[in-house]
Amino acid sequence: MPELPEVETSRRGIRPHIIHKTVHSVVVRESKLRWPVPDSLEFQLVGRELLAVNRRAKYLLLEFEHGTLLIHLGMSGSLRVLKDDVPAVKHDHVDIVFEGKKGKKRVTLRYNDPRKFGAVLWLENVEESDYLKHLGPEPLSNKFTGYYLHKQSKKRTVPVKQLIMDNKVVVGVGNIYANEALFMAGIRPSLSANAIGYTRYQRLVLCIKKVLSKAIQEGGTTLKDFVGGDGKPGYFQQELQVYGRAGESCYVCGDVLEEIRMQGRSSVYCPKCQKGR
């Protein structure tokens, strides 16, 4: 599943090609995604200038003067910016065609999603939408601090990994990056959230920021179904310390990395480097 760095990579990849361009046409080949693509999409977009391409959590927000086009990549979605005459292939569900500038040809923002678990929605008031209003702070923002996370952990007996993957606490810390940040911080993923002190939460927050920033810099993590918006895969997988390496040696101490299942997800950790208390 594309996580925050992959979505941010897509945002940066598509933005230069479509920003401040006017929508020429909309093509919906398949409307039955996770939530139905609205019938009014063409009416809402055609003739309107795209003012901004932003991101909130794992949602891409294409902002127009009168509302916002929300795109979620789901489990297997991807976006491409293509020449207007490139034919659609299987799983190409939605096209947003933009006018060219100064004699240049039109370009198409194309949404492809084999599993159809993503979304393309129109929102008139994005801040009050049910998709965004309950989300926690962005992990790379100044609002996400050790003090904040320590405060959120009080009276919570859930494992710390579950805490940092809760989008109501902080957005976008998916399974891969939670594994990596906890390893970097020296904290075992199964440790109860309320058993961790303020100083260790300060370190964990710094590690989350470092891991996500590095992943964005490297273009995201290449997964089976994901390729970045510029057509290039991410390379952060070459930097993974623990995720997907159960049974292998820890790069730091040489101990064998162990794997446990938490909420149906793989959690890999080093029993020597990551303290259980």
CATH number of the domain encompassing residue 70: 3.20.190.10
What per-residue confidence (pLDDT) applies to 264? 86
For 3-12, 45-54, 241-250, which range has the lowest pLDDT when averaged over its residues?
A: 3-12
What per-residue confidence (pLDDT) applies to 27? 97
Highest mean predicted confidence (pLDDT) among 4-8, 178-182, 259-263: 178-182
Q: What is the pLDDT of residues 11-33, one digit of tens each?
A: 998 999 999 999 999 999 999 99
What per-residue confidence (pLDDT) applies to 229? 59
Place of tokens 């939460």: 201
Using CA atoms in the order 263, 265, 270, 275, what is the torsion angle rounded to 10 degrees? -20
Which of the listed residues 73, 100, 128 is the one where a domain comes to its end?
128
Q: Are strands 258-262 and 119-123 parallel, antiparallel or unpaired?
A: unpaired
156 annotated as a binding-site residue? yes
Q: How much of the chain, in percent, has pLDDT values that exceed 90?
A: 75
Looking at the fold, whether 124 and 153 belong to one and the same domain comes out as no
- Which DSSP category does 275 fall into? B
Range of the domain at 25: 4-128
Which of the listed residues 100, 128, 156 is the one where a domain comes to its end?
128
Report the predicted TM-score, pTM, of the whole model to 2 decimal places: 0.88
2, 5, 159, 189: which is the annotated catalytic residue? 2
In angstroms, the first-to-last Cα distance of the chain is: 31
3, 6, 8, 180: which is the annotated catalytic residue? 3
Domain assignment present for 47: yes
Other C-beta atoms lying within 10 Å of the C-beta of residue 183: 26
What per-residue confidence (pLDDT) applies to 126? 86
Domain assignment present for 84: yes
Looking at the fold, whether 17 and 109 belong to one and the same domain comes out as yes
**Does 2 participate in catalysis according to the annotation?**
yes
Domain assignment present for 59: yes
State the Cα–Cα distance between residues 154 and 238, nearest whole angstrom. Answer: 35
**Does 203 participate in catalysis according to the annotation?**
no
State the Cα–Cα distance between residues 196 and 194, nearest whole angstrom. Answer: 6
Domain assignment present for 135: no
* 100 — pLDDT class (breaks 50, 70, 90): confident
In DSSP notation, 53-120 reads EEEETTEEEEEETTEEEEEE-TTT-EEEEEETTPPP-TTEEEEEEE--STTPPPEEEEEE-TT---EE
Domain assignment present for 141: no
What per-residue confidence (pLDDT) applies to 171? 96
| pLDDT over 80 at 178, yes or no | yes
Which of the listed residues 101, 128, 155 is the one where a domain comes to its end?
128
Phi, psi of 224 (to 5 degrees): -55, -40
CA 62, 5, 205, 161 dihedral sign is positive
What per-residue confidence (pLDDT) applies to 65? 95
Looking at the fold, whether 102 and 152 belong to one and the same domain comes out as no
Domain assignment present for 173: yes
**Does 261 participate in catalysis according to the annotation?**
no
277 annotated as a binding-site residue? no
Domain assignment present for 277: no
Looking at the fold, whether 22 and 120 belong to one and the same domain comes out as yes
Place of tokens 């952990």: 153
Looking at the fold, whether 86 and 36 belong to one and the same domain comes out as yes
- Mean predicted confidence (pLDDT) in 123-150: 93
* 91 — pLDDT class (breaks 50, 70, 90): very high
21, 58, 161, 188: which is the annotated catalytic residue? 58
Which token pair is 247? 């049974």
Q: What is the pLDDT of residues 192-229, one digit of tens each?
A: 999 999 999 999 999 999 999 998 888 766 655 555 55
Looking at the fold, whether 111 and 63 belong to one and the same domain comes out as yes
Q: What's the total number of domains in the chain?
A: 2
Which token pair is 72? 């979620």
258, 265, 271, 272: which is the annotated catalytic residue? 265
Domain of 169, CATH number, reads 1.10.8.50
State the Cα–Cα distance between residues 81 and 54, nearest whole angstrom. Answer: 16
State the Cα–Cα distance between residues 170 and 148, nearest whole angstrom. Answer: 10
Looking at the fold, whether 164 and 240 belong to one and the same domain comes out as yes
**Does 49 participate in catalysis according to the annotation?**
no
15 annotated as a binding-site residue? no
Domain assignment present for 133: no
